[in-house]
Amino acid sequence: MAEATLQKPLTIRMHERDNVAIVANDGGLAPGTQFPSGLTLREHVPQGHKVALVDLPEGTPVLRYNVTIGYTLKNVRAGSWVHERLLKMPPARALDNLPIATVKPEPQPPLEGYTFEGYQNLDGSVGTRNILAITQTVQCVAGVTDFAVQRIKKELLPKFPNVDDVVALEHTYGCGVAIDAPDAIVPIRTLRNISLNPNFGGEVMVISLGCEKLQPERLLPPGTIPLVDERNVADVGENAEPPLDVVRLQDDRHVGFMSMIDSIMTRAEEHLERLNARRRETVPASELVVGVQCGGSDAFSGVTANPAVGFCTDLLVRAGATVMFSEVTEVRDGIDQLTSRATSPEVAEAMIKEMAWYDNYLEKGQVDRSANTTPGNKKGGLSNIVEKAMGSIVKSGSSPISGVLPPGERVSQKGLIFAATPASDFICGTLQLAAGMNLHVFTTGRGTPYGLAQVPVIKVATRSNLAKRWHDLMDVNAGTIATGEKTIEEVGWELFQFMLDVASGRKKTWAEQWKLHNALVLFNPAPVT
């Protein structure tokens, strides 16, 4: 605290109507600290936490981002620390009488001339990495697949220098589940669409046990896999489909464990040969499909990293790319901002439908969106989900929202898309992979080493202190915005350029360098048996 008193006091207010501001100084500020406005701190306020700018009598709406994040539970004097125990959270905005497509932002000039080096796929998508992914129908085969993947990496991959990696798409679904329940379509289409992610070049190979509920033909029905190349057409004739490439462990021909491994390696080698023949080509930035997400958020998330990501989102949209923002519980409290930004009433209605579905899903578990916030969020200064949501939404920038994607579906549109997913980092990332994401941007304030094997993950720190401590985990430091060293626009452009470098394979993210890979986690709202 002695250190804190020596610093020039820095507070950040998001809107002129706000009656609280957050303390920006490392280590917070000591009691007695004087601000140029004449305000004096009555108590220690930790970094990222709120200070009352005026007296707030009991029942006063506390405004941050010009939004009521709560009502004071007792009289709070100017200069006091406004923490979550002093606030009563407002109820969620009802889903009727919302403003529908009322905001018509000035059309921004297109951003032309930006390109990256990517792998073009036959289905029109573009990969940023060249990876052999091995699909599994069921968790039962995970150990065998992993054994095979270790050997493929050691014995085969060195022969194919243009292939970046071999990745097993492990998951816990496939059997012991109510597969005919209506909501089972969510995990099934998620797995299907992940297998078709642009970074895998259309080289789908499947490991099946044999007796599982999720049979390979149910996971990948005829017509879902694009023809890989001309040879396939020649092999099977013009109008026939190439058979799905499946290794079934229970087949009679497998005698002993090693025969299963041999089968998998033989199949893998064919796919590796075709992947290895691919080369990067110059493509416009419009081929990027970016998923933005936050995790381990603090009060700076909505001040530094998320606004910089939002600025970059607008640049990407202007460049003709696809940008997905997600995390239903973290945008629920800003639904009116989103419906008003929809390009059409249909888009707004689709958004409301996803919110209503999720409200109902949470209600069945006897909770609401307030179940989202973590102890770390609160320690970082976020009093409740309303405050967290206002900071989370800004990742979406200011562009019009041109589409809504239900969980597990694949995106087919350009522009800014709301991809409805839970806010759980792993589930959101998994669903954005299914949507066809080829680049992932992840902001964090508390710090998380999150990474995925399937797609590069760019991590943006909200605070310089975190960026310094985790200097070999954080790719971009947005903390310079809080200290005034850089502007939101400068960090946004820095991120945009870094994205093109990472997408082209010219640069690797820290998570890629250390091979930090989190598990795929499927969203399964249906019952298990």
What SS3 class is residue 478? coil
Min separation Cβ 45 and Ca ion, Å: 27
Min separation Cβ 14 and Ca ion, Å: 21
Min separation Cβ 496 and Ca ion, Å: 22
Min separation Cβ 461 and Ca ion, Å: 15
Min separation Cβ 142 and Ca ion, Å: 25
Min separation Cβ 296 and Ca ion, Å: 8
Smaller CB separation from Ca ion, 130 or 329: 329
Cα gap 126→290, rounded to integer Å = 12
**Rounded to the nearest 5°, which phi and psi values hold at 58?**
-50, 135
Cα gap 497→288, rounded to integer Å = 13
Which DSSP state fits 481? G
Residue type, 437: M
Cα gap 220→195, rounded to integer Å = 9
Long-range contacts of 506-512 (CB under 8 A, 24+ apart): 506/117, 508/456, 509/451, 509/456, 509/457, 509/458, 509/459, 509/475, 510/459, 510/472, 510/473, 510/474, 510/475, 511/449, 511/450, 511/451, 511/452, 511/456, 511/457, 511/459, 511/473, 512/451, 512/456, 512/457
Min separation Cβ 295 and Ca ion, Å: 4
- Rounded to a whole number of angstroms, the distance between the first and last alpha carbons of the chain is 55
Min separation Cβ 185 and Ca ion, Å: 23
Smaller CB separation from Ca ion, 39 or 423: 423
Smaller CB separation from Ca ion, 179 or 466: 466
Smaller CB separation from Ca ion, 329 or 464: 329
User: Are 345 and 100 contacting, i.e. CB atoms less than 8 angstroms apart?
Assistant: yes
State how beta strands 50-52 and 20-23 pair. antiparallel
Min separation Cβ 78 and Ca ion, Å: 35
Which residue number has the CB closest to Ca ion? Answer: 295
Min separation Cβ 422 and Ca ion, Å: 8
Min separation Cβ 429 and Ca ion, Å: 8
Smaller CB separation from Ca ion, 293 or 306: 293
Cα gap 329→186, rounded to integer Å = 18
Smaller CB separation from Ca ion, 121 or 293: 293
Helix, strand and coil in the chain, % to nearest 5: 35, 20, 45
Smaller CB separation from Ca ion, 423 or 495: 423
Unique residue bearing structure tokens 């870094």: 498
* Positive or negative: CA dihedral 423, 429, 430, 432: positive
User: Are 24 and 11 contacting, i.e. CB atoms less than 8 angstroms apart?
Assistant: yes
What SS3 class is residue 38? coil
Min separation Cβ 395 and Ca ion, Å: 10
User: Are 338 and 331 contacting, i.e. CB atoms less than 8 angstroms apart?
Assistant: yes
Smaller CB separation from Ca ion, 205 or 393: 393
Min separation Cβ 168 and Ca ion, Å: 24
Backbone Cα Rg of the chain: 25
Cα gap 237→235, rounded to integer Å = 6
Smaller CB separation from Ca ion, 425 or 494: 425
Smaller CB separation from Ca ion, 220 or 294: 294
Cα gap 329→293, rounded to integer Å = 13
Smaller CB separation from Ca ion, 339 or 421: 421
Cα gap 76→197, rounded to integer Å = 52
Query: Could you tell me which residues are beta bridge partners of residue 289?
Result: 322
Cα gap 307→301, rounded to integer Å = 8
The residues that touch Ca ion, with contacts defined as CB under 5 A, are 293, 295, 423, 425
Cα gap 286→486, rounded to integer Å = 27
User: Are 436 and 197 contacting, i.e. CB atoms less than 8 angstroms apart?
Assistant: yes
Smaller CB separation from Ca ion, 41 or 417: 417
Smaller CB separation from Ca ion, 33 or 421: 421
Query: Could you tell me which residues are beta bridge partners of residue 126?
Result: 120
